[in-house]
A and B are shown apart, each in its own frame.
Chain A
Amino acid sequence: MSARRRGRGRWAVVVVALLAAGCATGGGRGEITITVATFGDFGYQQLFREYEAQHPGVRLQPRISEFDPHHKSLVTQLAAGKGAADVVAVEEGYMPQLRQSFDKFVNLADLGARDLQSRYVSWKWEQGLADSGKVVMGLGTDMGSLAMCYRKDYFQAAGLPTDRTQVAKLWPTWEQYERTADRFAQAKPDVKFADSSASIYTAMLNQSEEGYFARADDSFIGDRNSNLKRAFDTAARLGTKGQTARVSPFTQPWTVAIQQGSFATMPCPAWMLTLVKNAGGDQNRGKWDVTTVPEGGGNQGGSFLTVPRQGQHTREAYDVAAFLTAPEQEKRIFLDTGSLPSEPSIYQDPGVVGKTDDYFSGAPVGKLFASAADGLHPSYRGLRDSVVRPIFGAALGRAESGAQPPQEAFMQAVTEAKTALK
């Protein structure tokens, strides 16, 4: 009998504990928690604290993960109908796929987002729309106007000019970039000229109006887009001539190659500078510099803040997103982390245009990226871009490593892409 009573007592303890746990997650005193999921560091920490100070009763909870897991878990959370953060960052490359499921996101236009349109460059605003403009799915954060990072010390050793305006004159076009690579390879054979065929290809593709799909009707044009073919051929040629270090961007070998100084140039979107700094470490400070990219323009990357419909506090989540993307905040983020805002009022701001970067030999990054932003036309990404992109990437990789002749690799990619799109 006594054992039984003790048993009941234990049950009571468990039940009380569970109830207590339930209350704890619910939050006390009417305080609400807004989770903000980003990939990598968006530079939001300080802004969160300020927002909390201005809005008593709102607590902001960051949820930071890596690029791929971040987007993949978002898709599974949207499919499952639960688990997504209140505010979720989506990178430009994932927007086309998610745009097809715009019904899983709050239409920010209902919460007054159209008032914010004037903040943005028009193409960035349009990239955040869905359902032929009826739905505002995301508020733009940064964009990735392109520049070229280069190792000053290696250029000097190879007898090339080192001053950034002189270097820019070496490569007004990609053909001239290639010729510079040949000169460099002769003078300094122990260092590769570029990091990988992939990054040259991506940069060139991002500069062209269309990539794998036609802007007009979203049909596949990868087999007949001359800009794409030119990018593939140029990048593959650098690879087959052995002028690339053959390290895929963002991988561990790539990080090591930056640290060890295995290559001399790399196309750099604004957000790339932080990555180069982190990979290169202090021993490479002052060895890099930044100049303009051949043929100019081109956007690479950049993100949006979205509000999944499944959230409990979508109204408050929208307020947070609007705060984080407001020009004042975007400007501070640029000065802190170097992520270039997609709002013209900021990149005409003297504080932004005047920004230089000590790590990159005092390069005027503000001016470089802001002036590139002005003439920027983003490449059109089709709805099924993510299906064919890896196929062409792998083909270029095979060409670069010499596993397959470039033309054959390209033809195989076209065939595979057509099969995958069926």
Chain B
Amino acid sequence: MAFDLSRRTRARRKLPDSPDNVRTPTWRGHRWSLVDLRLTPYLMISPFFLLFFVFGLFPLAFTGWISLHDWQMLQGEQRFVGLGNYADLLRDKHFRNAVANTTAMLMLATVPTLLAALGLAALLDRGLRGRMFWRTSVLVPNIVSVVAVGLVFSQLFGRDYGVVNAVLDWVGIGRVDWATHRLTGYLVVAVMIMWRWTGYNALVYLAAMQSVPRDQVEAAVIDGASTWRVFWSIIVPSIRPTIIFTVIASTIAGLQLFAEPRLFGGGTLGGDDRQLQTITMYLYEKGFELFDAGYAAAVSWMVFLLTLLCAAMNFSFVRRLASSE
């Protein structure tokens, strides 16, 4: 890359009408400018890589190192146990429970969120009055602090004094103990995620929809296609790469689900039956409540591997889509 760049730049310097070329550089200056040309691009991109090393790669590697030890937060490293923590983890039913909970909430939240976002984007794509206002306001839920969202929804879905239960009671359905039961708990967490992320994803879709060639849409309309047909046959296929991106992004965010179920489940256990405990909550319980750093590090590496697995699955899916086109 850098070699290409410098050669191209040098070629440009030889242009006779370039004012720079009128003065012949001294030999020393020439060599300095060569170094400059070769090194500068690396220097320019180095801040990201330096930060990535310090805050990304190093913690990742160090966490891996910790996970191979019996390591207590306070007493420090006790002894090397190899893959012992991972072996325990695979037999740990609380960990399996956390993985199942995370997956369930992830699915329950992501699919409706993305569908709703798609619909919302289609609406925003039309010539609305006060377009800017609508487009901006869908983003508002996303900038509200997640803790505030968790607290407000926990109160809305409160067992004794929650608004939702008051309404259900009033229409005769009766009160629901949302947080105690697994499925209703999932549902509330999914609602919180939907509330926060639908608008954001809608804006991403909207941006993609704006770049769909209008002539294709118009041609389809002239051929007599309905709005519905145009949407599913022209617009959605055109923004497929964007949809894939949002699926990957939502999956990664979902695997790190923490604040919503913790606030709603009333603690790191996620309820008395661990019914709402996600993987990151389990990590927190082990690391910061029981102070077992080694085991918590192993959990966090499992989160990393799970994320890689999901990304790889999505990637192969994208490749297959691309080749089918």
Q: Is A79 an interface residue (CB 8 A)?
A: yes
- A193 CB to closest chain B CB, in angstroms? 16
Tell me if B273 and A101 are in contact (CB < 8 A).
Answer: no
Q: Is A20 an interface residue (CB 8 A)?
A: no
Cα distance A248–B265 when bound, in Å?
A: 12
Q: Is A57 an interface residue (CB 8 A)?
A: no
0 or 1 for each of B259-285: is its CB under 8 Å from A? (1 = yes) = 000000010010111100000000000
Tell me if A75 and B158 are in contact (CB < 8 A).
Answer: no
0 or 1 for each of B137-175: is its CB under 8 Å from A? (1 = yes) = 000000000000001001100111100000000000000
- A371-422 interface (Cβ within 8 A of B): 386-387, 390, 393-398, 401, 403-404
Residues of A within 8 A of B76 (CB): 79
0 or 1 for each of A64-86: is its CB under 8 Å from B? (1 = yes) = 00000000100110110000000
Instruction: Name the residue of chain A whose CB is nearest to the CB of B180.
Output: A401
Given contacts A98-B74, A256-B161, A398-B273, 9 further A-B contacts (CB under 8 A): A253-B158, A253-B160, A256-B158, A386-B290, A393-B272, A394-B272, A401-B177, A401-B180, A404-B273
By CB atoms of chain A within 10 A, which of B161, B266, B272, B274 has the most? B272
Tell me if A256 and B160 are in contact (CB < 8 A).
Answer: yes
Residues of A within 8 A of B273 (CB): 394, 398, 403-404
Residues of B within 8 A of A262 (CB): 160
Give 24 CB contacts A-B under 8 Å: A72-B289, A75-B288, A78-B74, A97-B291, A100-B74, A101-B75, A104-B74, A246-B159, A251-B266, A252-B151, A252-B154, A252-B155, A253-B158, A256-B161, A257-B160, A262-B160, A390-B269, A390-B289, A394-B272, A394-B273, A398-B272, A401-B177, A403-B272, A404-B273
Q: Which of B154, B158, B160, B180 contacts A403 (CB 8 A)?
A: B180
Residues of B within 8 A of A97 (CB): 74, 291
Cα distance A402–B291 when bound, in Å?
A: 31
By CB atoms of chain A within 10 A, which of B74, B177, B289 has the most? B74
Q: Is B73 an interface residue (CB 8 A)?
A: yes
Identify the 4 closest CB pairs spanning chains A and B, nearest first.
A397-B272, A394-B272, A101-B74, A398-B272
- A178 CB to closest chain B CB, in angstroms? 22
Residues of B within 8 A of A173 (CB): none
Given A253-B158, A256-B161, A401-B180, the answer on whether A395 and B74 have CB atoms closer than 8 Å is: no
Q: Is A260 an interface residue (CB 8 A)?
A: yes
Tell me if A395 and B272 are in contact (CB < 8 A).
Answer: yes
- A234-278 interface (Cβ within 8 A of B): 245-248, 251-253, 256-257, 260, 262
Give chain B's interface residues, CB within 8 Å of chain A: 73-76, 151, 154-155, 158-161, 177, 180, 266, 269, 271-274, 288-291
Cα distance A258–B175 when bound, in Å?
A: 21
By CB atoms of chain A within 10 A, which of B158, B269, B273, B274 has the most? B273
Tell me if B74 and A248 are in contact (CB < 8 A).
Answer: no
- A247 CB to closest chain B CB, in angstroms? 8
Cα distance A99–B227 when bound, in Å?
A: 71
Count of A-B contacts judged by CB separation below 8 Å:
61
Cα distance A397–B265 when bound, in Å?
A: 13
| Chain A residues touching B, range | 20 to 34
Instruction: Name the residue of chain B whose CB is nearest to the CB of A422.
Output: B88
- B311 CB to closest chain A CB, in angstroms? 30
Tell me if A75 and B74 are in contact (CB < 8 A).
Answer: yes
By CB atoms of chain B within 10 A, which of A252, A256, A386 has the most? A252
Q: Which of B74, B161, B271, B289 contacts A79 (CB 8 A)?
A: B74
Given A253-B159, A257-B160, A260-B161, the answer on whether A72 and B74 have CB atoms closer than 8 Å is: no
Tell me if B74 and A394 are in contact (CB < 8 A).
Answer: no
Cα distance A12–B269 when bound, in Å?
A: 53
0 or 1 for each of A134-159: is its CB under 8 Å from B? (1 = yes) = 00000000000000000000000000
Instruction: Name the residue of chain B whose CB is nearest to the CB of A416.
Output: B94
Cα distance A167–B76 when bound, in Å?
A: 52
Instruction: Name the residue of chain B whose CB is nearest to the CB of A69.
Output: B288
Q: Which of B73, B75, B160 contacts A76 (CB 8 A)?
A: B73
Instruction: Name the residue of chain B whose CB is nearest to the CB of A384.
Output: B290
Cα distance A260–B162 when bound, in Å?
A: 13
Residues of B within 8 A of A396 (CB): 272
Tell me if A401 and B272 are in contact (CB < 8 A).
Answer: yes
0 or 1 for each of A85-104: is its CB under 8 Å from B? (1 = yes) = 00000000000011011001
- A258 CB to closest chain B CB, in angstroms? 12
Tell me if A387 and B74 are in contact (CB < 8 A).
Answer: no
Residues of B within 8 A of A386 (CB): 289-290
Tell me if B161 and A394 are in contact (CB < 8 A).
Answer: no
Instruction: Name the residue of chain B whose CB is nearest to the CB of A245.
Output: B160
Instruction: Name the residue of chain A whose CB is nearest to the CB of B268.
Output: A390
Tell me if A100 and B291 are in contact (CB < 8 A).
Answer: no
Q: Which of A75, A397, A403 contacts B73 (CB 8 A)?
A: A75
Cα distance A387–B292 when bound, in Å?
A: 11
- B293 CB to closest chain A CB, in angstroms? 8
Residues of B within 8 A of A260 (CB): 161
Residues of B within 8 A of A100 (CB): 74-75
Residues of B within 8 A of A401 (CB): 177, 180, 272
Residues of B within 8 A of A390 (CB): 269, 289
Cα distance A245–B158 when bound, in Å?
A: 13
Tell me if B272 and A387 are in contact (CB < 8 A).
Answer: no
Residues of A within 8 A of B288 (CB): 72, 75-76
Instruction: Name the residue of chain B whose CB is nearest to the CB of A76.
Output: B73
- A146 CB to closest chain B CB, in angstroms? 24
Cα distance A257–B151 when bound, in Å?
A: 17
- B303 CB to closest chain A CB, in angstroms? 20
Instruction: Name the residue of chain B whose CB is nearest to the CB of A412.
Output: B273
Cα distance A393–B271 when bound, in Å?
A: 11
Cα distance A72–B293 when bound, in Å?
A: 13
